[in-house]
Structure 1
Amino acid sequence: MLYIRLCFDKPGTTELREQLRADHRAYFKPNLLADAVPHLVQAGPLCVSDNDDTNLASFMILEATSLDEVVRFHDGDPFTKAGLYDRVYIHRWDRHI
């Protein structure tokens, strides 16, 4: 099954995001492998606008056998542990196209 993980940053956390970016990427690198559970299909930051690359959220598509697997993955993310996120949405995605 596919899941969407959408995490909006707390205001004023740009510096914290930069400090933890390498740890965040290292954390999910093993999940890029095709047989990883959960498997990270796509990921990247959402930007403020076409002219402003400031991150306002993190977006991921993950393949997993349950929502619990994705929540455990989310809970272990260095961004999550540091309290970077203000709002988090994790939902199963029923991809049609």
Structure 2
Amino acid sequence: MFYAIIAHDKPGALEVRKANRDAHLAYIAETGVVAQAGPLLDAQGDMAGSLVILDVADMDAAQAWADADPYTKAGLFSSADIHPWKRVIGG
């Protein structure tokens, strides 16, 4: 099942994001459960959050993935919500 993680960075945390980006991308590659992902952008076009679509068994697995994300461990996010998600368009 798909789960969408919608996370917003803490204000002024762009340097935290940049410092942990390589570890975050490595985590995505290592875990093999990310169907789609990319940064949310602010009005200036700077990275300000994350949208991650996971393909995992259940909400517990989605929460465990989110908790182990290097961005989460670095304290980047002011909020992060996980929602079941149904793909309608795209493959």
The normalised TM-score by structure 1 is: 0.85
Within the candidate set 44, 48, 69, 2:42 is matched to 48
Counterpart of 1:17 in structure 2 is 17
Counterpart of 2:76 in structure 1 is 84
What SS does structure 2 have at the residue aligned with 1:11? coil
4+ residue runs over 4 A deviation: none
User: 1:96: how far off?
Assistant: 3.4
What SS does structure 2 have at the residue aligned with 1:21? helix
User: 1:94: how far off?
Assistant: 2.6
Counterpart of 2:63 in structure 1 is 71
Unaligned runs of 5+ in 1: 33-38
Q: How many residues end up aligned between the 2 structures? A: 89
Determine if the alignment matches structure 1 residue 6 to structure 2 residue 38: no
User: 1:47: how far off?
Assistant: 1.0
Unaligned runs of 5+ in 2: none
User: 1:48: how far off?
Assistant: 1.3
User: 1:95: how far off?
Assistant: 2.9
Task: Give aligned-pair identity as a percent.
Answer: 38
Q: CA RMSD in A?
A: 1.2
Determine if the alignment matches structure 1 residue 29 to structure 2 residue 29: yes
